A and B are shown apart, each in its own frame.
Chain A
Amino acid sequence: SLQELLEKLTVHAQNDEHTFVLDLANRLLRQDPTDIKAKRAKQVALIKLDRYSEALEVFGDDELKPSELALERAYCLYRLGKLEVAKDMTESAIRSGESSVTEHRGLLHLKAQIAYRLENFADAKETYDELSKGSYLVDGEDHDVVVNILAIQAQQR
């Protein structure tokens, strides 16, 4: 079925597959506009394809609790330059304590990036220090955090 194909496809999707995921998700949503897995896949595919405005429109405001998919939605706002709104959404999702371990860590990364873009370098550093104390979850994450801390130090000089 299309559902099974979507699940298979989204396990290890790479760059050129996001367009295919999007197409498949759209086909599923034509059959059933309430298919949450298809909507979720559509939103992620649009983010991976740098289509942030469209990604934000996949779910209506009344469909989600404030902390649900907060990383995805706040990331889109961040990429669209809506830094203050992204900051509020990120920080309230972190405070809610409702995120998975992975999502929580992603939100902390986003919080640090937003602080950096707002030139709140001390806040960004503090968040990276918090991330450094936890367990790294992504390949190269430790290296990337060190590079970002060096960037902060360069900006503070």
Chain B
Amino acid sequence: KPVFFDTAFNFIGYEDGIEKE
């Protein structure tokens, strides 16, 4: 299976801003 990133997760954060983990 090809690598496929869960990029939507990075848009979920405590503020409307962004949290990248």
Contacts and interface: CB of A to CB of B under 8 A. Distances in A.
Interface of A: 10-15, 21, 40-41, 44, 47-48, 71-72, 75, 78, 100, 102-103, 105-107, 109-110, 113, 116, 137-141, 144-145, 147-148, 150-151, 154-155
Interface string B1-21: 011111111111111111111
A102 B12 CA distance: 9
B3 A147 contact: yes
A47 B12 contact: yes
B14 A11 contact: yes
Contacts, number: 75
A31 B14 CA distance: 20
Contacts of B11: 71, 102-103, 105-106, 109, 137-138
B2 A44 contact: no
30 contacts: A11-B14, A11-B15, A13-B14, A13-B19, A14-B21, A15-B21, A40-B14, A44-B12, A44-B13, A47-B12, A48-B12, A72-B12, A75-B8, A103-B11, A103-B16, A106-B10, A107-B8, A109-B8, A113-B4, A113-B6, A116-B4, A137-B11, A138-B11, A138-B18, A139-B20, A145-B7, A148-B5, A148-B7, A151-B2, A151-B3
Given A15-B21, A141-B7, A144-B7, A21 B2 contact: no
